[in-house]
Amino acid sequence: MNAPFDPPAKTVRTQLAEHSKAAHLALHQHPDLLLLERQGLHLEHYARILTAYFQFQNAVEAARNRLNLWPELSLRPGIEALASDIAALAPIHPLHLPRLGRMEERTGTLALLYVFTGAQFGGKVIAKALQSQNPAAPVGYFSLGSSPEKWRTLCAILEEEGQDPDALKAMKHTTRNGFETFGAYVSACCADRKTAQRQAM
């Protein structure tokens, strides 16, 4: 008689991806973010999108620094590239950043590092599309792309931290919330642009 087959346990990264799948897919269909790869993106609009990326990643990096954890997962290279790109465009006064839940905890910060490290996948495709539709658009951030070594390190840390059920539950919540809140913040930044345009008419 054969022993019962136990399917391999899902990795923590897989569990986070499955739990946040709907929010992640919704972000891929965000009307403002879709413009990054389409014709008709105005540079001011682009600046507002970059500002949303900058504000969020800067907040996550600040939390990581406060906790003094995972220097190998630092978002600093992307933040510096974003600052440079924004400086080349019209400066945008950022809106108030909404609360990014559980960032005071290591699990929450780690989950948001997962969100924004993963966000760099496909960056070079976006950079190419941006340059083809508007050569004046600075693409330092999106041109960075992803680091396979950094991604492997992140996945290993996720696996270690996620062995605690409460930590895994917290990471799942913050991952989904991170995608949803980032999408809402991009909408708010870009809606603020549209409001300013209407007032100027």
Q: What is the pLDDT of residues 63-105, one digit of tens each?
A: 999 999 999 999 999 999 999 999 998 766 666 666 665 566 8
- CATH superfamily of the domain spanning 20-196: Heme oxygenase-like (1.20.910.10)
Rounded CA-CA distance 3/201 in Å is 74
8 Å CB contact between 167 and 23: no
Q: What is the pLDDT of residues 15-58, one digit of tens each?
A: 999 999 999 999 999 999 999 988 888 999 999 999 999 999 99
Domain residue spans in the chain? 20-196
Question: Residue 42 has which token pair?
Answer: 């105005």
The pLDDT assigned to 7 comes to 52
Q: What is the average pLDDT across 178-187?
A: 92
Burial class (CB in 10 A: 0-12, 13-18, 19+), 151: middle
CA 168 vs. chain centroid, Å, equals: 19
- Is the pLDDT at 197 greater than 60, yes or no? no
**CA angle, corner 180, sides to 9 and 115, nearest 5?**
50
- Does the model's pTM come out above 0.75? yes
The pLDDT assigned to 1 comes to 46
Q: Can you list the positions of beta strands (E) in 23-179?
A: none
